[in-house]
Amino acid sequence: MPAIEISNLTKRFRDVTALDDMSFSVPEGEIFGFLGPNGAGKSTTINILLGFTQPTAGSARVFGSDVRTESKQVRQRTGALLEGYGVYERITAREHVERAIRAKDADDDPMAILERVGIPEAADRKAGGFSKGMRQRMAIGMALVGNPDLLVLDEPSTGLDPNGTRELREVIREENRRGATVFFSSHLIDQVEAVCDRVGILKNGEMVTEGSVTDLRAQLDAATVTVTVERAAPSSLLADLRGIDGVEGVEATDNQVLVRARGGDAKLRALNAIERAGVGFADFTTEDPSLEEIFEVATLGTRSGRERDGHAEAAPEGEA
Ligand SMILES: Nc1ncnc2c1ncn2[C@@H]1O[C@H](COP(=O)(O)OP(=O)(O)OP(=O)(O)O)[C@@H](O)[C@H]1O
């Protein structure tokens, strides 16, 4: 049984369609990255999963329980860190965790939780005086209460410093080793890439692509080949390169030619063309697309021609 199973889920807020016939599932034991730009529908999905928002159509199940009719069972098995979680200013960190323990009918040691999230020294301080990062750490601790089978984390690295984000990744991995499924929602690709087994990319309420980071890279099998040359490449070479089937962008500086090529054949033909051009082919490196590029393609539908390392932008096809 999948940890999360979402089928044809639609959510409309008056004239806004936040989720549009979205379907996907997360197998038990997975760390799933739920990626999407602002407004894609991530929080709406989480609110539906936890029973805080009712879907307009479709269904969502958590470990087989229907989130509409069995939200109590769902919440009992789920630890959630929600965006904009409200901190009670007048009670301490320990009291926050104790509340979560009571709500879950769990028997965790509040101090052990606060130690895990790195704020044991703040246990008896009122949360009203906490920094953003401390609030976030406390909220993560509350999500861990009761060893949940599913951890739902909405933008968990918000407010955390680099140490905090590293510790968060460690906690996620520990929870996953213990057996928890993790649903990690974020618009921050590097955070997701660092810890997730699989990612789904949401755009305008629809899942546009789904797979392991490796699968997604393979789908978008383009790579940038950077060739170091001894002499500046003449415009005739750049035109030839742009004419190769599968070459999507060409940039040149005095001693480098950058070719963005889709598929091994295009890469090879580009390298051969540079070698034949007599510009003193010295060396080359290739770079696979990053998850960021995959995200960009999935959410914008195009690969951007933004500047790389201060080099000039690639000229459009045919403009040598
Ligand atoms: N209560 C609401 N009333 C009206 N519109 C809403 C409501 N909640 C969400 N929306 C709209 O639904 C869409 C999806 O919003 P949602 O908050 O789910 O996106 P998100 O992916 O979580 O974005 P972010 O990364 O900015 O948090 C947006 O267009 C948003 O304005």
Q: Is the pLDDT of residue 101 over 70?
A: yes
- How far is the CA of 101 from the CAs of 2, 118, 214, 215, 258, in angstroms? 26, 18, 39, 40, 56
C-alpha 125 – ligand 1 centre gap (Å): 34
Number of the ligand 1 atom closest to the C-alpha atom of 187: 25
User: What are the strands, taking DSSP E only, across 28-143?
Assistant: 31-35, 57-62, 65-66, 78-81
Residue at 170: amino acid letter = E
When pLDDT is cut at 50, 70 and 90, the band that residue 220 belongs to is low
For 110, 138, 158, 309, the CA distances from 132, given in Å and listed in that order, are: 20, 10, 8, 33
pLDDT of residue 264: 73
Give residue 52 CA to ligand 1 midpoint distance, Å. 14
Q: Which domains does the chain have, with CATH numbers?
A: 4-211 (3.40.50.300), 220-300 (3.30.70.260)
Q: Show the tokens assigned to 17.
A: 């369609």
Residue from 10, 17, 42, 207 whose mutation best tests the ligand 1 pocket (most atoms within 8 A of CB) = 42
Give 308's pLDDT tier (boundaries 50, 70, 90): very low
Tens digit of pLDDT for each residue in 250-307?
999 888 998 888 777 888 888 889 988 888 888 888 776 677 777 777 777 544 443 3
Q: Whose CA is nearest to atom 28 of ligand 1?
A: 39
CB 10 within 8 A of CB 204: no
Ligand 1 centre to CA of 19 (Å) is 9
Amino acid at residue number 193: E
Q: What does the block give as tokens for 100?
A: 């979560």
Q: What are phi and psi of 139, to 5 degrees?
A: -65, -35
The residue with tokens 């889709």 is: 262
| 130-166 pLDDT tens trace | 999 999 999 999 999 999 999 999 999 988 888 889 9
Which residues, including other chains, have CB under 8 Å from residue 42's CB and lie 6 or more apart? 34, 36, 154, 185, 186, 187, 202
What is the mean pLDDT of the segment spanning 228-253?
90
Give pTM, 2 decimals: 0.78
Phi first, then psi: give them for residue 62, nearest 5 degrees: -120, 120
* Res 221: pLDDT: 67
Ligand 1, CB within 6 Å, residue ranges: 13, 16, 18, 36, 38-44, 187
Does residue 314 carry a pLDDT above 50? Answer: no
**pLDDT (tens digit per residue) in 269-285:** 888 899 888 888 888 88
Structure tokens at 272: 């051969």
Instruction: Name the residue of 6, 11, 13, 52 to mutate for ligand 1: max ligand atoms within 8 A of Cβ.
Output: 13
3 state DSSP class of 85: coil
> Which pLDDT belongs to residue 20?
95
Backbone angles phi, psi at 8, to 5 degrees: 45, 45
User: How many whole angstroms separate alpha carbon 260 and alpha carbon 249?
Assistant: 5
Between residues 80 and 228, the one the model is more confident about: 80
295 Cα distance to chain centroid: 9
Give residue 265's region: left, alpha or beta (phi > 0; psi -120 to 50).
alpha
